[in-house]
Amino acid sequence: MVKVSHEVPFSLLEKSREFNDYDYCLPHLLDQNEEYKNFFYESKAMGRYIIMDNSLHELGEAYDTDRLMYWVNEIKPNEFIIPDVWEDKPASVRNATIWSQVNLPQETTKVAVVQANNETEAIECFESYLLLDYEKIAFSYGAAWYTEVCPHPNKDLSKAMGRVIFVNNLYSSHRIPEKTRLHLLGTASPIEFGMYSNIPNLETIDTSNPIMASLEGLKYHDLGLDYKPTADMNNFQDIDIKDVDMELIEFNTKAFKSINNL
């Protein structure tokens, strides 16, 4: 079964364990917020599954290498998403080559993220990670070239469906080895994830979409939303729980799984 995690503001960390299948960790926040750091220490002690990102999406570039290494060795996550460079295949493959030689805790699986400027580059990037023996590979959301794979007036739907088509094409052309595990990073539209049901390699998803929609006061309809909420976690990270509509959070997180048959 595909596991899902939704990023939440600090005030909802404890609550998130009720609707998240695993805990998704942003390492730069471990250095910035004591409550956040303690949450992941507790998650580790509880035996919860943890995936640690490299904070590229939040910072615009991967977090400091020394601090990444510190927190990977401290938390010992089940998975660590190695540093990638947004829409830059050569730099991302170079990073993956370097990190393939880095020793991490035995229980931590390295995950490499496909980055590219077009579909051809994305295929080359994916295949480079296979040659480097990465057990798990992730696909980012929102890449501009997804709109070339699936042109549509609605750019959020175009990006979401572009990734669906690309990943499904990889699978149908037998480019994804049976043993290779997949992760999907974020989404531009929450209706996307039900369209991967034919791909057994898909293992985990992370997206803050139902949380961001809730903080923006948006209730999912029968197909969720056909656009990405404008709300950004950076603007809501410190929101007081008294200002959060918990009923809407509960509705949207349940609707997300129902809509996508997860």
Section 210-222 average pLDDT: 92
The pLDDT value recorded for residue 72 is 98
Q: Are 112 and 96 in contact (CB under 8 A)?
A: yes
| DSSP structural state of residue 221 | B
Mean pLDDT across 63-81: 98
Cα torsion for 68, 123, 57, 84, to the nearest 10°? 30
Strand order through the sheet with 181-185: 3-5, 202-206, 181-185, 136-139, 109-114, 79-81, 50-52, 23-25
Q: Is 50:44 a contact under the CB 8 Å cutoff?
A: yes
Q: Which amino acid is at 118?
A: N
Mean pLDDT value of segment 90-117: 98
- In the chain, the percentage of residues whose pLDDT exceeds 70 is 100
Average pLDDT in the chain: 95
The answer to whether residue 64 scores a pLDDT higher than 80 is yes
Q: Is the pLDDT of residue 226 over 80?
A: no
Q: What is the pLDDT of residue 262?
A: 86
Q: CATH class for domain 3-259?
A: alpha beta
- What is the predicted pLDDT for the residue at 68? 98
Farthest-apart Cα atoms in the chain, separation: 50
- Please give the Cα distance from 87 to 9 (Å, whole number): 27
Q: Domain coordinates of the chain in residue numbers?
A: 3-259
pLDDT tens string 161-182? 999 999 999 999 999 999 999 9
